[in-house]
């Protein structure tokens, strides 16, 4: 839990001034970098070499897919600052990181990371850099890249048979 606190303090300190759209934009930019670094740092804290490889693979797949679509679609940004709005790179990177943390280490890491990813996506709307479609597409691409390339260390499986029902929780020790 101490490690989670360190990660949260890092994310919050990088986004502490998000009270107007300019500050929101800056904090979204900071979280775009901080959340993947926090995910990678978490693999180091857990001495999880397999997780570090999986994070890196899903991160690279996500970035490749996101930027290939940006170059292919050429959608104008709402603020007319360019034609690379679709999909949102900020949303894809932060939702990839959050999904990795959720799948690999469970809700204690995943929930705060998803909150940070959702906030980052909101900053892109507040800064008028993206519309909802761009954000949703980025989030789906990011989450999918982590989902398909990450092996969970924690799994929760409900079960029901003729005489009983329950939940099986398993986890992989580092």
User: Average pLDDT in the 49-54 region?
Assistant: 96
Q: Using a pLDDT cut of 90, give the percent of the chain over it.
A: 64
User: Average pLDDT in the 121-130 region?
Assistant: 93
pLDDT of residue 22: 66
Q: Report how far apart, in Å, the C-alpha atoms of 12 and of each of 18, 23, 79, 93, 169 are.
A: 10, 13, 27, 17, 31
1 against 66, higher pLDDT: 66
Q: Is the dihedral of CA 97, 29, 26, 83 positive or negative?
A: negative
pLDDT of residue 160: 85
Q: Using a pLDDT cut of 70, give the percent of the chain over it.
A: 81
- Cα gap 63→126, rounded to integer Å: 23
What's the chain's length in residues? 174
pLDDT of residue 18: 46
17 against 82, higher pLDDT: 82
Residue 75 · residue 134 · CB < 8 Å: yes
13 against 162, higher pLDDT: 162
Residue 123 contacts by C-beta under 8 Å, 6 or more apart in sequence? 18, 24, 25, 27, 28, 31, 90
116 against 16, higher pLDDT: 116
Q: How far apart are the first and last CA of the chain?
A: 16
Q: Which residues are 158's β-sheet partners? A: 167
Domain encompassing residue 83: 2-171
Q: What is the pTM of this model?
A: 0.80
- Mean pLDDT rounded to a whole number for the chain: 86
Q: Please count the structural domains in the chain.
A: 1
Confidence of residue 134 (pLDDT cuts 50, 70, 90): very high
**Least confidently predicted of 2-11, 44-53, 103-112:** 2-11
Confidence of residue 174 (pLDDT cuts 50, 70, 90): very low
């Amino acid at each position: 839990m101490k490690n989670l606190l360190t990660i949260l303090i890092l994310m919050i300190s990088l986004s502490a001034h998000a009270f107007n759209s300019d500050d929101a934009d800056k904090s979204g930019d900071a979280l775009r970098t901080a959340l993947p670094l926090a995910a990678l740092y978490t693999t180091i804290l857990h001495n999880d070499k397999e997780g570090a490889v999986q994070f890196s693979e899903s991160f690279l797949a996500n970035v490749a897919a996101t930027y290939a679509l940006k170059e292919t679609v050429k959608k104008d940004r709402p603020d007319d600052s360019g034609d690379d709005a679709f999909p949102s790179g900020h949303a894809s990177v932060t939702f990839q990181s959050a999904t990795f943390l959720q799948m690999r280490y469970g809700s204690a890491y995943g929930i705060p990371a998803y909150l940070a990813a959702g906030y980052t996506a909101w900053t892109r709307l507040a800064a008028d850099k993206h519309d909802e479609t761009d954000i949703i597409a980025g989030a789906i691409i990011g989450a999918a890249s982590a989902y398909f390339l990450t092996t969970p260390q924690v799994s929760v499986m409900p079960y029901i048979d003729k005489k009983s029902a329950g939940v099986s929780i398993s986890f992989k020790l580092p």
